[in-house]
């Protein structure tokens, strides 16, 4: 079973992703509400995959992705963004994100991204 860290500043968004993941055989090993917390939780939980919101307080998803990648260059991180954040998505992909999902989440797209990432583990 693949372990996933879910990062989003909105609790309801984390719950949507967690629901998609758990009912499809993934284990959610942690949650974070901002980028700084995400880096700490990554180090603590050592997940196989991370879903990372791009716009968050304290530290955004791009910065958190870079910090996690410094700690673990093989980290598999999927960026979650709202429409209109193409510039940040491009930055995140350039910094090492393996895929991106656009909000509002569609279960099929979330599962496609997660399954594809899990297959590369």
**Does the reported pTM lie above 0.85?**
yes
Q: Residue-wise pLDDT tens for the chain (121 aa)? A: 899 999 999 999 999 999 999 999 999 999 999 999 999 999 999 999 999 999 999 999 999 999 999 999 999 999 999 878 889 999 999 999 999 999 888 889 999 999 999 998 8
Question: So where are the chain's domains?
Answer: 2-120
CATH number belonging to domain 2-120: 3.40.50.2300
Asked if 64 and 37 count as a contact pair (C-beta separation under 8 A), the reply is no
What distances in angstroms separate CA 60 from CA 84, 94, 119, one per listed residue? 16, 15, 27
């Amino acid at each position: 079973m693949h372990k996933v860290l879910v990062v989003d500043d909105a609790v309801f968004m984390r719950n949507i992703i967690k629901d998609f993941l758990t009912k499809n055989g993934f284990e959610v090993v942690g949650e974070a509400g901002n980028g700084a917390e995400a880096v700490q939780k990554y180090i603590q939980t050592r997940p196989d995959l991370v879903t990372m919101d791009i716009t968050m307080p304290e530290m955004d998803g791009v910065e958190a992705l870079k910090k996690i990648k410094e700690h673990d260059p093989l980290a598999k991180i999927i960026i979650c963004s709202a429409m209109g954040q193409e510039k940040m998505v491009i930055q995140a992909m350039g910094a090492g994100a393996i895929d991106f999902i656009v909000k509002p989440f569609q279960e099929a797209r979330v599962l496609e991204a997660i399954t594809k990432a899990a297959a590369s583990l």
